[in-house]
Amino acid sequence: MTTANTDAMRPPFPAERGVDAYNTKLGMWVFLASEVMFFTALIGSYIILRFGAPGEWARPGVVLNVPVTAFNTFLLICSSVSMVKAYASIADGDQRMLKIWFLVTIICGAAFVGVQGFEYYHLIHRGFLPSGVREGSELAELVAKGTLSEASLGLYGSTFYTMTGFHGFHVTCGVISMIYLYFTKVLPGKYTQQNHGGVEVVGLYWHFVDLVWIILFTIVYLI
């Protein structure tokens, strides 16, 4: 009785309404506001620590593999587009295109997580750890040659792995929930032109994750 209405794409009636958004959509926006603050804590700490870091911060591209991540960025942007296309399809009542675009989104998202795992594996292999540089690794040699300043590498590792790790965690959560929706709602054709709140709401989350990555990519990899 009470939950029946929450997924429908209209505000609950009869009621005073603060915003013209149905509950799940409003709830997702509210949740995203809190996510902004969570990433503020992580990104803000990064900015603050970088400002006060001893020794020169590693220049972009020295430690991190930017081309791979640029490809990853591209993947995530593509998945965002396919997500919004999926939404537009079902808003026009097109079940077939919804299924296709939704699947593309899941694949791009999963590929992003995979590439990030690959990136982590290689970084750790090269000696880049959350605590700094591993003794006797490739990066340790760069430090010995003076290409890298060791003083700030500990902070570099700490902030890099925490920020990208938590972003990756969010992407993973998004992929899992999309797979769940794909099999329980999308494939059985439960979304309709009138009722497709789930696609819109998971889309909001997905675009937000994309948005965070756009910021992270710039400030972590390029600056």
Partner 1 sequence: MTTVAGTPHVGHAHSDDRSFLRKYIFSTDHKIIGIQFLFVSLFFLFVGGLLAMQIRWQLGFPNQPMPGGKLLPETMAPDGVILPEYYIQLVTMHGTFMVFFAVMPLLVGVYANFLIPLKLGAHDMAFPRINMASFWTALLAGLVMLSSLFVPEGAARAGWTMYAPLSARPDLSGAGLGQQMWCIAIVLLGLSSILGSLNYITTVINMRAPGMTWFRMPLSIWALFITAILGLLALPVLSGAAIMLLFDQTIGTHFFDPAAGGQALLWQHLFWFFGHPEVYILILPAMGMVSDMIANGSRKPIFGYHSMVFAIIGIGFLGWIVWGHHMFVSGMNPTLGSSFMVTTMIIAVPSAIKTFNWMGTMWRGNLRFHVPMMHAVAFVAMFVIGGLSGIFMAATPVDMHIHDTYFIVAHIHYVLFGGSLFGLFGAITFWFPKMFGRMMHQGWGKVHFWLTLLFYNLTFFPMHILGMAGHMRRIYDPTMYDFLKPYQPMNQFISVSAFLLFAVQAIFALNFLVSLFRGAKAPQNPWQDNGLEWTLPNPAPHGNWERVPNVYRGPYEYSHPNATEDYLPQSQKLPGDPEPAAASRASQGREA
Partner 2 sequence: MESVQHKHPPYLLIWLYLFLLTAAELGLAFQLPIARNIKLLLLLGLAVWKALLVAMFFMHLKFERWNLRMLLIIPLPLAVILVLAVITEKIW
Residues that bind partner 1 (CB under 8 A): 1-3, 5-6, 11-19, 21-24, 26-27, 30-31, 33-35, 37-42, 44-45, 48-49, 52-55, 129-132, 151-152, 154-155, 157-159, 161-162, 166
Calculate the CA 107 to chain-centre distance.
14
Q: How far is the CB of 56 from partner 2 (least distance, A)?
A: 11
DSSP helix/strand/coil, 150:
helix
Looking from the CA of 31 toward its CB, the CA atoms found within 13 Å total: 14
CB nearer partner 2, residue 153 or residue 212:
212
- With CB cut-offs between 5 and 8 Å by kind, which of partner 2, partner 1, none does residue 179 bind? none
- With CB cut-offs between 5 and 8 Å by kind, which of partner 2, partner 1, none does residue 158 bind? partner 1
Whole-angstrom Cα distance, residue 98 to residue 192? 10
Whole-angstrom Cα distance, residue 106 to residue 98? 12
Whole-angstrom Cα distance, residue 32 to residue 40? 12
Specify the residue for token string 């929450």: 6
Under rule CB under 8 A, residue 62 binds partner 2: no
CB nearer partner 2, residue 137 or residue 195:
195
Contact assessment for residue 217 and residue 73, using Cβ atoms and an 8 Å cutoff:
yes
Under rule CB under 8 A, residue 12 binds partner 2: no
Total interface residues for partner 2 by CB under 8 A: 50
Under rule CB under 8 A, residue 36 binds partner 2: yes
Whole-angstrom Cα distance, residue 33 to residue 18? 17
Per CB under 8 A, the segment of 120-128, 153-161, 171-179, 213-221 that binds partner 2 is 213-221
- How many beta carbons lie within 10 A of that of residue 70, not counting itself? 13
Q: Quick one: 125 exposed, middle or buried, by C-beta within 10 A (0-12, 13-18, 19+)?
A: exposed
Interface with partner 2 by CB under 8 A: which residues?
Answer: 9, 18-21, 26, 29-30, 32-34, 36-37, 40, 44, 47-48, 51-52, 60-61, 66, 70, 73-74, 77-78, 80-81, 83-85, 88, 91-92, 193-194, 203-204, 207-208, 210-211, 214-215, 217-219, 222-223
